[in-house]
Structure 1
Amino acid sequence: MTTSSWTADPARYETATFRRCGRSGLDLPALSLGLWHNFGDTKPFDEQRAVVRRAFDLGITHFDLANNYGPPYGSAEENFGRILAKDFRAYRDELVITSKAGYDMWPGPYGDGGSRKYLLSSLDRSLERMGLDHVDIFYSHRPDPSVPIAETMSALHTAVTSGRATYVGLSNYTPAQTLEAHRVLAEMGTPLLVHQPSYSMFNRHVELPDAGSSQDADAAEAGALFAPAPVGRPLLDVTDELGMGVVVFSPLHQGLLTNRYLDGVPEGSRAAVGHFLRPERITDDYLRRIRGLAEIADARGQSVAQLALAWVLRDRRVTSAIIGASSVAQLDDNVGALAAPVFTDDELAAIDELAEHGAV
């Protein structure tokens, strides 16, 4: 094993901001580092290592992964495992490391979905890639309408009782599905700690009453084993009632809520190369909205990204927002959101005129 002379900043917790995750004993940093597409084999390892080190020095203790993060699949966990081995073995008990399974991972009938076979096999492979004996949170990455909810939740229950996970959570579940999953796990005796939905100024579905998702409708039409009726309440209300924390992803709407596209699509940007973000999303209406948000951000002494992060964190029900960072400079800019002043009512009203769900 390669040794490291790196030592974490001893002052890392002096200004760090933590929030309690629902009705549990777990605190999470207000900003967490996600390793979705900046930690695969297409990025230089030394740059990845520098970002993770800097995040921990800033008091970010929560690192969010999934089995198929990369590219290629699995490489983000492998690279993070290398960073852990080189720099973080002495700090393992100060870290909250998560993984997920539910989307496509390997060929055949056992490499996707919500079966016990897939979820527990995937968890074992994730632990191997990261060189860990357990993760702190293991998520069902999405509901699978073809699998009984009791089976999917039993896999999460086994992950905890076997010692492979400390807590469990859900991602991309509707309010109705969340209620049912919580009920089933409670009967098994395992708490459902956290929900991980998408949330941003341009994607406000967690605030909206659940009218039944297209996923629910498609599942019902197909005669699914797991197709609960809608509950008519927003996800944030449901998770709050259940005592669950909420860790949101894509708070910058895949880079659209930044200063990067104020003047169109720059060469080499994610939109320019069509990597997760299509250039056709940079419409005149988008430019009008982002320039309006930039004016509000400027008046507050913030970047657009800092404004967007402070905005999702304005709600006490949001425990943490996951940020992606391809460089230390980008990470530092995002963390600057935590120094933001409290929003005034006038600022929130102005933002509401520009931050419309589904606008982009």
Structure 2
Amino acid sequence: MTYSAAGTRYDQLPIRRVGKTGLQLPVISLGLWRHFGDEAPFARSREVVLDAFDHGVFSFDLANNYGPSKGSAERTFGQIMRRDLNPYRDELVITTKAGYPAWPGPYGAFGSRKTLISSLDRSLKQMHLDYVDIFYSHRPDPNIDLQETAQALDQLVRQGKALYVGISNYDRDQTATMIQYFNDMHTPFTVNQYSYNMLNQQAQTTGLLDYLGQHGAGLVAYGPLAEGLLSQRYLDGIPDDFPIHRTNKYLFEQGTQPVVAQLNALNDIAQQRGQTLAQMALAWLLRSQTVTSVIIGTTSIDHLHANLDAAKQLDFSADEVAAITAILK
């Protein structure tokens, strides 16, 4: 059956602009980090991607190492692109990254010119694309001058293989260094994709969020629900084998019980707002206009719609902000 996108797709979600750039994103993007690729039935992956687009999600986030076998998420998305979404390419924001291990040998990871250029060429082939909208350096390379990474990203834009560049997992000082290089080269840098959720607010406390806003850039939040921790599933306790992301491991330094207490207190406020805990957690990040989009991951249509409903209630009263801030201290 031929796919035809819903005519109401742009009536569903708010859209935010990054500074004064031409880049605009829906406040919620779909990430294909987990559960897409060769471990998932293609029909289910296709259903979720197309349903997301029908409901206002025109931003799809990938990386060269996503999927059980590295690159399989890009290959799955490439099939959906070729089969269904090609007529809508000019509406889509498709992003990918390079930096974590994706193939054997010294050039399979990090941020050298060779790694980044080779990786994007692979990604374009896998996704059946001529260009991506944002190409990210997935993490800073500690072994080289960051200028090499910046120059490689700039070159890829000038070659027409990416429209904008981004960085991911760069702290405030590393971001400042990259922004200086990008400004010198007039590179269209737009966003830092960073781990950010209600419980892990390092993006805010370190000054990264403010710095991005001051320099006309945005933050795209990954892991906004802390791998599902910020949901009603763990109000009675967090299992010892909970798959906490490396950026959030410090949350358990005093054990899991204090986190469970925080979750229950936050859930009480969410219920008073008429939201689920997950919906409130997404809305909380979007209080800042510098947070251009939050990336969710799901293989369930119901779960997708529940998360998208967060955008229906993004405002917080002063009392709610005070109460939530006190809980998170």
- Which residue in the other structure is 2:300 paired with? 327
Partner AA of 1:167 in structure 2:
Y
Per-residue CA deviation, residues 24-81 of structure 1 (Å, 9 max, x unaligned), is 0121100001111121211211111111011101111100000000111101000000
Partner AA of 1:148 in structure 2:
D
Partner AA of 1:155 in structure 2:
A
Per-residue CA deviation, residues 163-197 of structure 1 (Å, 9 max, x unaligned), is 10000011111111111111112222212111111
- Which residue in the other structure is 1:113 paired with? 110
Partner AA of 1:322 in structure 2:
I
- Which residue in the other structure is 1:317 paired with? 290
Q: Counterparts of 1:42-121 in structure 2 under 5 Å?
A: 42-121=39-118
Q: Counterparts of 1:10-29 in structure 2 under 5 Å?
A: 10-29=7-26
| Pair 1:5–1:238, CA change in 2 (3 A) | same
Deviation at 1:286, TM superposition (A): 1.6
TM-score (norm 1): 0.86
- Contact kept, 8 Å, 1:23 with 1:245, in 2: the verdict is no
1:7 and 2:7 matched: no
- Contact kept, 8 Å, 1:22 with 1:194, in 2: the verdict is no
- Which residue in the other structure is 2:217 paired with? 244
- Which residue in the other structure is 1:137 paired with? 134
- Which residue in the other structure is 1:220 paired with? none
| Pair 1:43–1:276, CA change in 2 (3 A) | farther
**What is the distance in 2 between the residues matched to 1:341 and 1:177?**
31
**What is the distance in 1 between the residues matched to 2:202 and 2:144?**
25
- Contact kept, 8 Å, 1:134 with 1:163, in 2: the verdict is yes
Correspondence for 1:175 among 138, 150, 172? 172
Deviation at 1:106, TM superposition (A): 1.0
Correspondence for 1:300 among 273, 276, 284? 273
**What is the distance in 2 between the residues matched to 1:168 and 1:44?**
32
Q: Counterparts of 1:124-163 in structure 2 under 5 Å?
A: 124-163=121-160
- Contact kept, 8 Å, 2:62 with 2:95, in 1: the verdict is yes
2:291 aligns to what SS in structure 1? Answer: coil
**What is the distance in 2 between the residues matched to 1:13 and 1:170?**
27
Correspondence for 2:237 among 253, 264, 269? 264
1:32 and 2:5 matched: no
For these two proteins, the number of residue pairs brought into alignment is 324
- Consecutive aligned runs of 4 or more in structure 1 exceeding 6 Å deviation: none
Correspondence for 1:286 among 232, 238, 259? 259
Per-residue CA deviation, residues 131-170 of structure 1 (Å, 9 max, x unaligned), is 1010000001111121111111111011100010000011
Deviation at 1:263, TM superposition (A): 2.3
1:153 aligns to what SS in structure 2? Answer: helix
Supply the RMSD in Å over aligned alpha carbons.
1.8
1:193 aligns to what SS in structure 2? Answer: strand
Partner AA of 1:140 in structure 2:
S
- Which residue in the other structure is 1:340 paired with? 313
Deviation at 1:13, TM superposition (A): 0.9
TM-score (norm 2): 0.94
1:246 aligns to what SS in structure 2? Answer: strand
Structure 2: runs of 5+ lacking an equivalent: none
Deviation at 1:275, TM superposition (A): 7.9
**What is the distance in 2 between the residues matched to 1:182 and 1:283?**
38
- Contact kept, 8 Å, 1:101 with 1:140, in 2: the verdict is yes
Q: Percent same amino acid at aligned positions?
A: 49
Per-residue CA deviation, residues 203-229 of structure 1 (Å, 9 max, x unaligned), is 1011113xxxxxxxxxxxxxxxxxxxx
- Which residue in the other structure is 2:183 paired with? 186
- Which residue in the other structure is 1:350 paired with? 323
Deviation at 1:97, TM superposition (A): 0.1
